[in-house]
Amino acid sequence: MRKLENKNERKGLEILKRMYQFGGKTFITSELFKTRKVVTYTKNIPVGWIDYPNKTETYNISFTKTKRILILGHTGSGKSFLARAIMNRAYMAGINPVIVTDTAPEYFTSQFPLQEEFKNFILDIEREVCTKGLPMKVYYPYFLYKFMGLNIPGQVVFQYRISDIMPSDLSAFVNYEDLSLGAKLEVEDLIAKLSKENKKLSTIDELISYVASKEISNVTKRVVINALKNLKELGVFGEKYERETIIDDINQNIIPDLNLFGWQRLDFKIYVAIYISIILRKLLTARQLKQIKSDKHLLLVFEELHQFAPKKTANTAQAITKRAIQDVVLTGRKEGISTIFITQSPETIDPTIIDQCDLILVPRGFERYKLMEIVKNYLPDYYTYPYDFGISMNEYLASLRKWPDGARDWLVLEKSGEMVRITPLGPLTRHKEEGEVSV
């Protein structure tokens, strides 16, 4: 270790060395959020107290290997509060978060210092690091910004080019499921030709000209061209704004945050799905091609998972995002990609994703029937005797407390079968109040 240069630097190091016993790390306070010149001793992230309020022991999540974390909870239960607490400390430990679906949005508040009233929910030795926020870049798709007009701090409006999609994405834009059999076959043939010819089409107008030149029925041609014109009119693809630079952000230790405010508008769901799939493809490709530095451990955060990866897809948009998220889950471990999934409806989530989770965190007041539905697959050995298991689960959930200071207990279910009751630590950055959109 290098020699410490001055008294303040030595003092900061001595104070924060104590974080080692809590699963934290040693760093120079004044440099923490500026240069990230940190010395990481461990990637065991403290997420809560096991014996609250006596505060005798912290519960840690180890990120020495990739982790799949599922956080459950109804609206107002504190699931985003807990997710941000994990994300903030992961960043401190040298892990790079990427907020893939900030639907509220609320994660952008991690740019700002923690308010004084929330400092009761952090470790005493962390108070020094809460005077500044985390470096973030909030990305807002132009087509959403155009219609919603939301402006939040740190926001960058961006736009993809038509060259960023894959030929197979074309079927999503033409309501493929509603086409006649003949039209479906023609669209499939068109996609196959695009793939085979490896056309480098950079604008929608070029793609429209390409479609117009092909020998397909006038009806199918009109459907495809009208869909492409709609993309241009809405601004889904174009050259008005630059693309996002998420890969560069990660390499520079900046947290990318995809703001999806307004995504539930009927016209936008399919376009949001394509944007999410493009981003996830870029992350996986960048990992495989080593465009992201080899020492970077990624932590992808997905809010409202039940909307993007349901057990039964209700539309093409859900099918696209589900497939993209499954790819990350199934191939991401060897690429050093961890995930935090957040949902209020775990019983509707694709079981492949739940089965891959290492931890499930359950808040006080969560519905037992929803939990039982996923546990019988997640912990089959515990479910051998459903009646006995139901009684035990009732006892665990009933033991979760709400404390006078507002803290609420959570139940942690580990893949090993262990169950631990914790009182979660809060975020190290500004905590967004419920219902707040901007600052």
- Per-residue pLDDT tens over the stretch 105-148: 999 999 999 998 888 899 888 887 888 899 999 999 999 999 99
The Cα 258–Cα 275 span in angstroms is 10
- Per-residue pLDDT tens over the stretch 399-424: 899 988 888 999 999 888 788 999 99
**Whole-model pTM?**
0.86
| Closest C-alpha to 174, from 110, 225, 108, 98 | 225
Residue pair 100/139 in contact (Cβ under 8 Å)? The answer is: no
Q: Dihedral through CA 13, CA 19, CA 23, CA 26, nearest 10?
A: -10
Sign of CA dihedral 186, 187, 190, 195: negative
Tokens standing for residue 20: 């080692």
User: What is the separation of C-alpha 112 from the centre of its chain, rounded to a whole number of angstroms?
Assistant: 19
- 327 exposed, middle or buried (CB, 10 Å; 0-12, 13-18, 19+)? middle
The Cα 411–Cα 413 span in angstroms is 6
The kind and range of the H/E element at 173 are helix 170-173
Q: What is the fold, at CATH topology level, of the domain defined by 45-147+254-284+294-424? A: Rossmann fold (3.40.50)
| Closest C-alpha to 166, from 186, 195, 141 | 195
The kind and range of the H/E element at 352 are helix 351-355
| Closest C-alpha to 73, from 330, 340, 420 | 340
- Per-residue pLDDT tens over the stretch 210-232: 989 988 898 889 989 998 999 99
| Closest C-alpha to 266, from 205, 214, 317 | 317
Domain ranges of the chain: 45-147+254-284+294-424, 162-234
pLDDT at 434 over 70: no
